[in-house]
A and B are shown apart, each in its own frame.
Chain A
Amino acid sequence: MLLGASGSGKSTLLFGLAGLLEGGESEGQLRIDGHDPRTARDRTGIVFQDPESSLVMARAGDEVAFGLENRSVPAAEIWPRVDEALEMVGFPYGRDRPTDALSGGEQQRLAIAASLALRPGLLLLDEPTANLDPDGARLVRAAVARLVGGGELTMLLVEHRVAESVELVDRLIVLEAGGGVIADGSPAEVFAASGDELATAGIWVPGYPLQIPPRGPRPDTRVLLAADQVTYRFPGEGSLAVGPIDLAVRSSEALAIIGPNGSGKTTLALLLGGLLRPSSGGVSGPNGEPVWSEPADRLARTIGSVFQDPEHQFLMGRVRDELTLSPLQRRSTAVDAAKRAAELMDRLHLGGLAEANPFTLSGGEKRRLSVATALVREPRVLILDEPTFGQDRRTAIELVDLLSAQRDDGSAVCFVTHDLPFAAALADRTLELAR
């Protein structure tokens, strides 16, 4: 397993080994069985983070056959090898299964099978469970464990969340940006020798849980957001995606919404945020107003929504403008907005980046900025979708601090998450949705 803080070059190294790096400057050499990785691509296979944008074909069997066709495997051998590879990862369906009907975990198993069918000597896995819910991640880890048991394959795994995958690996290598290899050994050795340093550097280390911040006093609370038998049905579909749900979120309260992929967590967050029109029932804000029919400007000052992908919410060319939104704002609250923006940038360590383009920030900075864009309107309710997704330990700690302060100040904080330790550190209450 390769380990390192964000920006330490784990994925880049993996791409280099797969022979997929073009351009850029490099020093030193990579060798696969003594060959340049770019000419030895048939000896390596790589599985990427996001299965949705790495699947090519519409049917599972065709997906595995795709690589075999490319490598000119004789037609008669293709289908036996497809079946063999699907069997190796424990793929539960037939070849004709449509790939878009698979869950994320199943798609990722299929992607592993598609790499295995080419019989690589080295299998590279780039955060294969990062985009998956806990059940999907378990499926993929089980498939990897089967392969490890087979013993013929060398595997190199990059993972963010270490605790769950560490038992799969024999050896752990820690990378540092500009520092190269800073630790190399069995997981037990590495964690014993430098667990503290790794955790401070932002790496998720087993046995270093998030600190639970002290809970502020809760004077008299009141309901800020209430869902009344709310449901949602996608147009043209028979079954309900959400609900019916009754829910009340109070001031000074943090609510975690958890559940497997496809249980409607994100859709519920959009309904609560007044961004999606309920099919039936309703969601009302602090003064009992239905949130869906609020004008956008007023909505943002009552309920702040933070999306899973921060980039979806960026509108401007500079971090500073992103917070003041000055050219887009119709009412002139410019002085006020500029002051609040400056305060928030300080508080969220974005001060040095005021002139930077939001799209060029690092993952952690983008996340902090997207939270800041909601906070700048001083909403009384904050709704976040997977705030710790893809974030290192340091950003997760900052989010816990920031959101618990928000909660103790009297706001309501709702967040959708797969990250149970994060939920445990922050939530007063948990709502679990079932599929």
Chain B
Amino acid sequence: MRRFTPLRPDPRAWLARANPVAKLCAAAILMAVLFVGSGPITPAIILGAILASLPLTGLSVRTLLARTWPLLVAAFMVGLLNVLLAPARPAGPDLQTGLALGLRLLGVALSGVVALASTDPTDLADSLQQQARLSSRLAMGVLAAVRMLPILATEWQLLGMARRARGVSAGWSPLLAVRLAFGKLLALLVGAVRRATRLALAMDARGFGTAAGRTIARPHSMRMADWGLLLAAAALGTAALWIGAAA
């Protein structure tokens, strides 16, 4: 359940300090390259570069691994299934395609995870408003919602225990299991809506969404380093495509 709480990267790390929108754009560039490129070489180069940049993110490899292992497993399984289920060829199983698919999936996932995990959610919301001109209603609303996620996770566990306390369990009956899960989900939703209403009221009471212009307490800007990050991502993508095509 702790998968939902935001990571706290070391704020002094270079990538942790980079502008959040710049980071998201860089990740988007890499994802686009992974999407168009074919063969295992292009994704391997990009994956290598992402892994090499990990020390710059201020995240410890252990926490990152603890959060993302399901992704690793998923990528491996996709690759494996492709090898196993591909139509048989005279030359033997198609390892290349399986490898390429697995690496691509991993690359797409990891570039997104690294960009988001090395970003403080507040900075992201600020930067989305200031650089990407996202409406503050949306950005702040999402930010507040993200804060609620761990609370919902705890709530889900409590609802499960409350059912056991009532002496109700599905046992071996799948019908009862569905019924109980549905009831739990409904209770979770009722609670979430109520909480959200209270939060919206609290935001309203402090003038959110009423005044014409909102001032900015934490200014963010695109610095040279941020443009550099974009440039580096573009260069990496081009190079990876080039080498992948040449091989």
Residues in chain A within 8 A of chain B (CB atoms): 18, 20, 41-42, 45-46, 48, 50, 52-59, 62, 65-75, 78-79, 100, 114-115, 118, 235-236, 270, 273-276, 295-301, 304-305, 307, 309, 311-315, 325, 328, 330, 359, 373-374, 377
Contacts and interface: CB of A to CB of B under 8 A. Distances in A.
Interface in B212-242: 212-219
Interface string B189-224: 011000100110111111111111111111100000
A169 B217 CA distance: 36
Nearest to B2: A236
Nearest to B157: A276
Most buried by A among B121, B169, B171: B169
A52 B214 contact: no
B243 interface: no
Nearest to B161: A275
A116 B211 CA distance: 18
Nearest to A98: B8
A122 B155 CA distance: 35
Interface string B136-163: 0000100110011011000000110111
Contacts of B205: 18, 20, 41, 45-46, 115
Interface string B37-75: 000000000000000000000000000001000000000
Contacts of A59: 122
Interface residues of B, number: 54
Most buried by A among B150, B205, B216: B205
A51 B167 CA distance: 33
A70 B207 contact: yes
B206 A70 contact: yes
Interface of B: 2, 6, 66, 120-122, 140, 143-144, 147-148, 150-151, 158-159, 161-169, 171, 173, 176, 179, 183, 187, 190-191, 195, 198-199, 201-219
Given A41-B210, A56-B140, A297-B169, A75 B202 contact: no
Nearest to B199: A53
B207 A300 contact: no
A192 to B, nearest CB: 36
A307 B204 CA distance: 31
Given A53-B198, A276-B161, A79 B217 contact: yes
A62 B143 CA distance: 12
A276 B157 CA distance: 10
A71 B151 CA distance: 29
B123 to A, nearest CB: 10
B181 to A, nearest CB: 12
A273 B217 contact: no
Nearest to B167: A300
B166 A313 contact: yes
Nearest to A68: B217
A73 B214 CA distance: 8
